[in-house]
Amino acid sequence: MRRSVSDRSLAYLLLAPTIAVLFALTIYPLIYSIKISLQGESGNWTLQNFARLFSDQFFLSAMAHTFVYAAVALTLEFLIGLGLALLLDTQIRGRGLFRALLLLPMMLPPVVVGVVWRLMLNSNFGAVNGTLKRIGVNTEALAWTASPKLAMASVIAAAAAANAIVKPAFKKWPNRTPRTSGGYTVPPNTPKPVSSAPTAADRSA
């Protein structure tokens, strides 16, 4: 009994630093943000902040851009990820290497991925404009992250390329032939399950 109590105390002691950090960096700021959002300048409780927020054109424009970004980026991530997963499910040479390379973005922190894409899309020395210049494309007007027309497309492309993670493999289920009654028949190569019911020889023994 004493050992179980001591083990439980040790578990709580080991979890205490994590819970303290989580409370200090996540839970308390969330509660404080909700509190000040419901207070006015004089400290009284009010909903005027939200009313003013939804009447602000800048906020509504930002919300519209966020919805467009989320819808297009998630759609592209799903389609690209699904297409690459189907491609890597076929018998192609170097499939394991391609899977490992496609899983690299998942291992990198989002901050690192963002900095890399920012450098690649730099209009002066970025890899994207440098490659386009080599093939004869005029890149003077291609300010990927500064142009209002190209900024949204650049961010969506970067997010879709970084988050379209491909699953290692699709599991292949055994082929099943539909019956006329609506059920399914198991292929003849599938091993039969072992029955735990006693046989006639077991009963006679």
- At 12-45, the pLDDT tens digits run 899 999 999 999 999 999 999 999 999 988 888 9
- At 53-104, the pLDDT tens digits run 888 999 999 999 999 999 999 999 889 888 888 887 778 788 778 877 777 7
CB 49 within 8 A of CB 37: yes
Task: Specify the range with the lowest mean pLDDT, choosing from 73-82, 122-131, 137-146, 186-195.
Answer: 186-195
| pLDDT number for residue 1 | 55
| pLDDT number for residue 4 | 67
Q: Output the CA torsion sign for 25, 30, 31, 34.
A: positive
Whole-angstrom distance, CA of residue 179 vs CA of residue 194? 24
pLDDT (mean) for 168-186: 47
Domains of the chain: 12-37+47-55 (no CATH), 56-170 (1.10.3720.10)
| pLDDT number for residue 194 | 52
| pLDDT number for residue 87 | 81
CB 139 within 8 A of CB 132: yes
Looking at the whole model, is its pTM more than 0.75? no
**In this prediction, what percent of the chain has a pLDDT beyond 70?**
78
Whole-angstrom distance, CA of residue 125 vs CA of residue 131? 10
